[in-house]
Structure 1
Amino acid sequence: MNLFPFSNTWRETILLYRFLRYRKGFGVHSPFAFSFITKVIDERCGYYCYQDIELIRRQLVHKGNKLAGKDIKHTHGELLFRTVNYFKPKTLLQIGSPAGIASLYMTAYASDLKAIVLEKDASSAETTAWSLQKYHSKARLCPGDYEQTLPAALQELGQVDFVFFQAAQKKEKNRFYFEEAMKHIQPDTVFFLEGIRANQEMRVLWKEICNRKDVILTFDLYQIGIVIFQPRFYKKNYVVYF
């Protein structure tokens, strides 16, 4: 008899939130992890770019563009901006861009960045191009199939400081993207993954990522996963309320 009359996803959600231990940094002994949780994840200060970026989203919605609603939601976009602003990477790569909203959050912190945005869908690439131009972003859009554009972009960037995975597809595809990006990391590289619980395949992939020996710190924010490779830290997975 099933003693838990809920779906697996709902039951997982209940258990996850029941055992959250690191909200607002409580119980965190690592100075780096405590700083990241309190100064980035839990920070709620407004930045000038938030309103400007959301204005572009509203303009797309007003024009009847449905892709804007499929892009990163504003709370996750703000976290993306704060994360990039905290680590201050110089080379950035985004895999998947429904409308360019996340691209703007990712690149708004500075103008002297080398950023490449990949998108395989023609309509999404067109909308992303419009958003980047509207915001005067220097991020470069590379449309086309990821199997071709991803290796080429990584080769151009050399070592990547920051990679944002927004392409929620089958686990095998995402594993390919992850493994390709892993060939170009350095100790301070940061991976930011959206949709780590979008489906069962993504949940399995996220668990595999957390268990990798070359992955040192992971921050599990339920739908967002942040990966740190810096070997000077002790291996740890932080489940944080967000």
Structure 2
Amino acid sequence: MFQIIEYIKFLFKSTNQHGVHSPFVYDLVTKCFYDSTTYEEYSNLSEYRRSLLKNKQQIQITDLGAGSRVFKSNLRSIKSIAKTSGSPLKRAQLLFRVVRYFKPQHTLELGTSLGIATQAIALGHSKNQIMTIEGCPNITEVTTQQLKAFNIHNVSLKTGEFDKVLLTLEPDNYDLIFLDGNHNKGATLSYFNTLIDKAHNDSVFIFDDIHWSKDMVEAWNTIKSHPKVTISIDTFFWGFIFFRKEQAKENFTIRV
């Protein structure tokens, strides 16, 4: 019910490209968000997801995040995880376009799951070096095999608690950071405050499920009001933030 109410409020506030006066955001919306091209890579995204949805293997889950609203047991099949926890196909396609548009050289993903989003990031730019972190060792094992089977070779996968793994990261900065692993206000703000030091002027952070709960809405509002953040874009399911010093501070709510 909370998310339904949030979505109704979002619809009243949101706009499309015609309500955008920032050239940077206008180009992003029209050339990336609303890009209707059917890319060859979309078939790879679909096949990756289909193969997971056919996989009946059961594994024991170690859940370090906010927990599941669907499952009562930690023994789950690969296909059920893919169906409920993986990025929907349209979002995987959008993530592919975002990476294709910005062409990041170094990307960090918090919350690998079965690698649906990871594959999209990898296919978006072949020169992108991706570090992705997953909390569950059994999921890491499945995802490593899955990415290898689909010839994804520009991904390094680490397992462990995000806070601890983040302390071991080597790159001084990241061009793209996708946070999709712990839908908890305290954890989300902690990751943001740690990773903001690894952002540069052209970095983009993407936060998943910013309207997941009241706590996540509060976390999102805190993040977009941070003095280093100049642009925020609320697409309801994802929140984008940018640090472009040449931009006046502005918040956008865009239907995608």
Quick check: TM above 0.5? Answer: yes
The reply on whether 1:152 has 2:146 as its aligned counterpart is: no
The reply on whether 1:42 has 2:34 as its aligned counterpart is: yes
* Separation of aligned partners in 1, 2:141 and 2:3: 34
1:81-230 matches, cutoff 5 A: 81-137=96-152, 138-153=154-169, 156-230=170-244
* Separation of aligned partners in 2, 1:75 and 1:38: 17
* Separation of aligned partners in 2, 1:214 and 1:79: 26
Residue by residue over 1:167-192, the C-alpha shift from the partner in whole angstroms, topping out at 9 and shown as x without a partner, is 13321111111111111111011101
* Separation of aligned partners in 2, 1:160 and 1:217: 17
Structure 1 residues 112 and 200: CA distance shift in structure 2, 3 A: same
Unaligned runs of 5+ in 2: 57-77
More moved, 122-131 vs 94-103 = 122-131
Give 1:13 shift.
Answer: 2.0
Match of 1:108, SS state, is helix
Residue of structure 2 in register with 1:13 after alignment: 7
* Separation of aligned partners in 2, 1:182 and 1:131: 31
* Contact 2:6–2:211, Cα closer than 8 Å, also in 1: no
* Separation of aligned partners in 2, 1:26 and 1:228: 21
Residue of structure 1 in register with 2:245 after alignment: 231
Residue by residue over 1:83-140, the C-alpha shift from the partner in whole angstroms, topping out at 9 and shown as x without a partner, is 1111111000000011001001011123222211100112221222122212222201
Residue by residue over 1:71-90, the C-alpha shift from the partner in whole angstroms, topping out at 9 and shown as x without a partner, is 11111111111111111110
More moved, 129-138 vs 216-225 = 129-138
Unaligned runs of 5+ in 1: 1-6
**CA RMSD in angstroms, aligned pairs only:** 1.4
Identity of aligned residues (%): 25
* Separation of aligned partners in 2, 1:124 and 1:199: 25
* Contact 1:81–1:105, Cα closer than 8 Å, also in 2: yes
Match of 1:183, SS state, is helix
The letter of the residue matching 1:32 is: F
Q: Give the structure-2-normalised TM-score.
A: 0.86
* Separation of aligned partners in 2, 1:192 and 1:12: 19
Give 1:141 shift.
Answer: 0.4
Match of 2:241, SS state, is strand
* Separation of aligned partners in 1, 2:167 and 2:88: 28
The letter of the residue matching 2:216 is: M
Match of 1:97, SS state, is coil
* Separation of aligned partners in 2, 1:102 and 1:216: 26
The letter of the residue matching 1:172 is: G
* Separation of aligned partners in 1, 2:224 and 2:245: 14
* Separation of aligned partners in 2, 1:151 and 1:79: 30
The letter of the residue matching 2:92 is: G
The reply on whether 1:28 has 2:20 as its aligned counterpart is: yes
